[in-house]
Structures are given as structure tokens and as C-alpha cells.
Structure 1
């Protein structure tokens, strides 16, 4: 009987130990699953956080780049606006238009003034014979522009101390890629004189050049001032408004006037492919 009790007690203890060991093993397995699940969730959180930080820095850099490009474009437009509004009116063209208007007014009030009107018109159309190598006040193509100034633009410091700002000079804007551009900057009577305009080889991008000629000669240049406005500019597209239509070219000697407005479209490296054009209006002569 005593042995039976001992065996029963031993069996109970053995079963109790097995039960405790089974519960302990079950608890260890459940804790491992929780750890794996926690690690998986932590990995997802870290991955999401890393992706969020990557997107944040990416869009922040893109935003800063766009702001820089916008600031550069605004500065270029302000520089062009300042130069355009300093362009000299052609006194010959203004005087011719004034004489034609006066002749028309006189012919409308005087019945016998038809012959006088014709004489005045012929004098207007006849170019003076003593004009030689006179500067053209405004020359524009689809990719370049030359403006006649009398004074230096204060927005641009002098690149060379030897450059003399007093007197007439052509201000040329273009994107320097390679070679030179040729523009009809002068006229001798009815004949236009084309001049080659060069820039330094190491200056790529939007260039502004002040070109002054000695004695009005279109063949030799004695004084120049070159300014690299923006090296990141890849193209410059220009159009000119005559009051009715937009033109891709303008010659104030032939049109006998400055354009009413200039449409400017600047493309900058790293910016959008299609830039929004900006229209710059020019002040017109009062007479």
C-alpha cells in the first residue's frame, strides 16, 4: 500500500513536471512569434521612414532647384527689360514719320497742296547722301538682339576698366554656343553693313556684349565690354510685335521704328522644356 502511494505520488509529480515543461515550451514558442512579428513591423516602419526621408530630400532639392531657376529667369528678364527701355529711338525714322504725318494733315486742309505733299514725301524717302556707316538702332532675330545705347546700363558693372561707356554703342544679346553671329549693325545709305560679333571661347551661355566702334566704322572695333549673364541658359527665343503681328525679325532702319514689344523665352538647363514666354513693352517716342 505504501509503495502504491509512493508510485502514485511519483506519477503525479512526473505528470506535473511534463505539464510545466509543455507549458514552458509553448510559452517560448509564442514569445518567438511575437518577436518575429515585432521585427517585421519594425522593418516596415524603418522602410517607410527611409522612403519618406528619401522623398522629402528629393522634392526639397527639386523645389530648391526650381526656385533657383525661377530667380535666374526673373533676373534675366529684368536685365533685358532694362536694356530694351534704354534703346535709342532712331531720329531719322521719327523725323520721317513726323514729316509724313504733317504732310498728310496739310494735304487734307489745302486743296492745291497735292504737289507740295508729293515733294515732301519725296524728300522723306530720299536718304541723305552724307550719312556713312550710321548705326542701326534696333536689330532683332529669333535668337539674337542688338540695341543702340548712349549710356552705360547701371545694372552691369564694367568688365574692363579701359572700357569707355560714353558715346554710342551696340548692346548685343545672344546665346554663345560656338562661332560668331553676324548682324547688320550699320547702314551706309540704303545698304546694310553686316558685322561679326564674337564672344570668348570659354563663355558658354547667355552673353551680353557692349560693342563700341571707332568713328562709326563697322570694320574695326576699338572697345568692347563682355558680360556672361547666365552660363546655364541653353536657348534664347525672341519675337517682335509691330502692333498687329508678331515677327521673328526686326530692323529699325527698314521698319523706321522700334517694335512695340519683345517676346522673350529663355530655356535654362535643368528647367522645364517648355518655358512660358514673357512680353516686354518698350517706351515709344512721344513725337
Structure 2
């Protein structure tokens, strides 16, 4: 009897991946996706940062050009009345001369008492020189008196039959409006409910009258918020030897040779703050404006003050 041999069946493992291979594949996929997402996020940040820097530079240049145009239109005349008074004080130091002048004045000036009451006897040029204009500023505010002829609009003048008269002498101020602050900056900030570099401009006499009366509402209505993105501004003034943080043309009797303007923009990761800012951050923009007429006014002051 022959034994029939049965073929041996070989058990083959089914095709597939092991658990370790699946885990490794998933891990590599996660790492690859994370790398792709990181690259996309980095690209987005670079694009947004570039756009933000371009936008800030555009805003800073536009505001800087406007301030430059106003500064180069500043009008200023040396007060000759003060110089004459200084010379009179120096001359009065001589007792003999003072005594002689007093004796002559008592005999000659008595008949002229009636003429002193005549209305209009004041020289109009002297009254203009009493308010010589110029520039007054600190680190956070700038006030200037400018002279700019108004533009004529012939289309409107032909339709209306005339043009509205606008004064050439204007008062222009730059400051940062902030809600809750004092003075005009607080009034503008409360009225507009925003922080930003602001510009007040208008007729010189009207602005001075409103300032004397303390009419902050009128001044706030005439103020324009130029750049809400600029949350702080810093001014410095060059006197020919160094930079100073305050300037008053009525005291220095001239204009600064240059004005440095620094704009500070709001950072995305911090709240709006107008105090305690740093000028050495990426959110700042700086420029210098030269005043070519400063030397001419300084020479005028020297020639008129010298006896």
C-alpha cells in the first residue's frame, strides 16, 4: 500500500505594515506638516512686517513733508522795540546824562501831554513787531507762526462772484491728541476718541483770541488728526552748537538752524501709551528739517541789537 504524501502548505504573512512602521510614518507626516505650517507662518509674518514698514514709512514721509512745508514758511522779525529799550537802559546808567535828560524832559515834554492822548499815534509797524511770530516748541509740541498766501480758485470765484478772504498770517501747532490728557491734547482726544498726531491751523489772531479765552472746544473743532498711527512725537532744536529740547524765538531772537522730528508708532503687542516711549525701537522714524532762513534772522538780530 502506497502512502500518499500531502503537499506541505507554507503559511505566508499577509502583506502590510507593522505597527512601528505606521507610527514612524505618522510621526514623519506630523513633522513635515509642522515644517510647512511654520514656513507659511514665517512668510506671512515677513510679508505683514514688510507691508507695515512700508505703510509707516509712507505715513511718516507724508507728515514729515507737511511739517517741513510749514517750518519753511515761518515768519519772524526781530523785535526792535526790545532792542531800543535795552539801549535806553544802558544809557540810563550814566547819572549825569540821566539828570540832564530829566531836566530837559521836564521843560520840553510838558506841553506834549495833550498830544499823547491822540488815537492812532502808535506806529503800525511797531505794533506788528510786538508780535514778531517765530517758533515756540518743546519736546512734545510745536507752535509756529507762518505766512502763506492763499490759493485762488478761479472756478469757485467765477461761480460765486467772489472769493472768500483768508488771512496769510496763520498759526500752526503740532501735538499728539490723547483722551484724558490735559489742555488741548485732551480736548481733541476726548472729542475724537482716538490717539494720534494732530495739527491745529487757522487765522493767527483768531487762534490767539480763542487761546486767551480758553475756548478749547473751538480749537478742538479746528484741529485735524493727521495720523492715528503715530502715538508719540519728539522734537529737538539745533541752535548751531548742539541739540536743545525747547525753543522760544522771543527769547533767542532767532530761529533754530534745524528741527529734528521723531515719530513713534503704536506697537501691535502693547497698548497705546504716549509717555515713557523709547526712541531706539523699530517703531520709530526720525528726520531732520533744515531752516535756511535761520542764519538771516540771526544776522538781523545782531545788527539791530548792536548799539
TM-score, normalising length from structure 2?
0.62
| Aligned residue in 2 for 1:158 | none
Are positions 1:122 and 2:109 aligned together? Answer: no
Q: 1:163 to 1:240 in 2, by over 3 A?
A: farther
In our comparison, the structure showing a higher alpha carbon Rg is 1
Contact 2:235–2:259, Cα closer than 8 Å, also in 1: yes
**What is the correspondence of 1:165-184 to structure 2 with a 5 Å cutoff?**
165-177=166-178, 178-181=181-184
| Aligned residue in 2 for 1:24 | 13
Are positions 1:78 and 2:65 aligned together? Answer: yes
Contact 1:87–1:149, Cα closer than 8 Å, also in 2: yes
Q: 1:279 to 1:215 in 2, by over 3 A?
A: closer
Are positions 1:251 and 2:237 aligned together? Answer: no
Of 65-74 and 76-85, deviating more is 65-74
The 3-state SS of whatever aligns with 1:244 is coil
CA distance in 2, matches of 1:204, 1:125: 51
| Aligned residue in 1 for 2:286 | 277
Q: 1:43, CA displacement in angstroms?
A: 2.9
Q: 1:152 to 1:167 in 2, by over 3 A?
A: closer
- Structure 1, unaligned runs of 5 or more: 101-118, 155-161, 183-196
Of 259-268 and 216-225, deviating more is 216-225
Are positions 1:209 and 2:200 aligned together? Answer: yes
CA distance in 1, matches of 2:207, 2:27: 83
The 3-state SS of whatever aligns with 1:257 is coil
Higher helix share: 2
Contact 1:241–1:261, Cα closer than 8 Å, also in 2: yes
- Give per-residue Cα distances to partners, 1:227-279, cap 9 Å, x unaligned: 21111222111111110121111111111111000111111102895235322
Contact 1:163–1:225, Cα closer than 8 Å, also in 2: no
Contact 1:209–1:227, Cα closer than 8 Å, also in 2: yes
Q: 1:124 to 1:38 in 2, by over 3 A?
A: farther
CA distance in 2, matches of 1:145, 1:80: 10
Q: 1:44 to 1:146 in 2, by over 3 A?
A: same
- Give per-residue Cα distances to partners, 1:202-226, cap 9 Å, x unaligned: 1531110013224975635888742
CA distance in 1, matches of 2:33, 2:238: 59
Q: 1:42, CA displacement in angstroms?
A: 2.8
CA distance in 2, matches of 1:163, 1:198: 29
| Aligned residue in 2 for 1:238 | 235
**What is the correspondence of 1:20-59 to structure 2 with a 5 Å cutoff?**
21=11, 23-25=12-14, 27-29=15-17, 34-59=21-46
CA distance in 2, matches of 1:255, 1:150: 20
